[in-house]
């Protein structure tokens, strides 16, 4: 009886794989992408990867869902920055450790809004900081939407394409190492929450300086 129960015990990865086949899996994935762009530090790939591995023909559909949901969530973040910064937005910015250097970050958006959106959409910098700052800076809404679509589109269509073409190989590997795959996905969630405050150390213009050093450009005006 005990041996039978042990052999039929479902691991975390198997549970997640079953969850991806649920009728609400796509709405849940969309909600995850929406809130990731607005407030929570989590990687949507923890759902996206198993969903494509389970049925790689859904790759482009899922990439579209993620992009639309993320851009929509970004608009919500923009609205928070534009209308509710003092009551809601500042608390989110402070949580991610960007409060001390926020004025420098805001100025960089005034001068280089499209570039900052692209950097935020594709880099480990929490995208919600980018969307809220865009609203505070009063960045043109259509510019924000256009570059969000481009940046977030690349953010999801590229990995979805990789999963589409290499999904069968990845699926075979994961099936052989289910336990480690499950723990790896748990680690992604933990790392997402743990790293969020560390990406913005408590110093004046660390975000802007880091981007400037990486790209070799000046993001702030030199008046």
Distance CA 52, CA 162 (A): 10
Distance CA 29, CA 34 (A): 9
Q: Residue 2 has which token pair?
A: 């005990």
pLDDT classification of 157: cutoffs 50, 70, 90: very high
Distance CA 7, CA 40 (A): 36
Q: Residue 211 has which token pair?
A: 């981007």
User: Which residues, in sequence order, are CB contacts of 141 under 8 Å at separation 6+?
Assistant: 78
Q: pLDDT per residue over 20-69, tens digit each?
A: 677 888 999 999 999 988 888 777 877 888 888 778 888 899 999 999 99
| Structure-model confidence comparison of residues 15 and 182, the more confident one | 15
This prediction has a pTM of: 0.72
- Domain residue limits, the chain: 10-215
Distance CA 156, CA 63 (A): 5
């Amino acid at each position: 009886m005990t041996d039978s129960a042990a052999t039929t015990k479902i691991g975390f990865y198997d549970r997640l794989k079953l969850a991806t086949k649920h009728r609400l899996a796509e709405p849940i994935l969309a909600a995850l992408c929406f809130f990731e762009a607005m407030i929570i530090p989590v990687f949507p790939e923890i759902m996206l990867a198993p969903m494509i591995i389970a049925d790689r023909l859904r790759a482009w559909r899922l990439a579209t869902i993620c992009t639309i949901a993320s851009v929509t969530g970004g608009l919500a973040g923009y609205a928070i920055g534009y209308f509710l910064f003092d009551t809601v937005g500042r608390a989110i910015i402070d949580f991610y450790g960007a409060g001390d250097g926020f004025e420098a970050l805001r100025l960089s958006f005034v001068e280089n809004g499209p570039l900052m959106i692209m950097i935020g959409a594709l880099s480990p910098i929490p995208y919600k900081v980018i969307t809220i700052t865009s609203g505070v800076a009063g960045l043109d809404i259509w510019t924000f939407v256009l570059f969000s679509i481009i940046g977030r589109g690349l953010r999801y269509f590229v990995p979805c394409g990789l999963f589409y073409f290499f999904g069968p190989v990845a699926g075979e590997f994961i099936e052989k190492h289910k336990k480690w795959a499950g723990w790896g996905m748990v680690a992604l969630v933990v790392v997402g929450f743990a790293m969020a405050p560390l990406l913005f150390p408590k110093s004046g213009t660390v975000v802007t300086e880091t981007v400037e050093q990486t790209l070799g450009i000046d993001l702030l005006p030199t008046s």
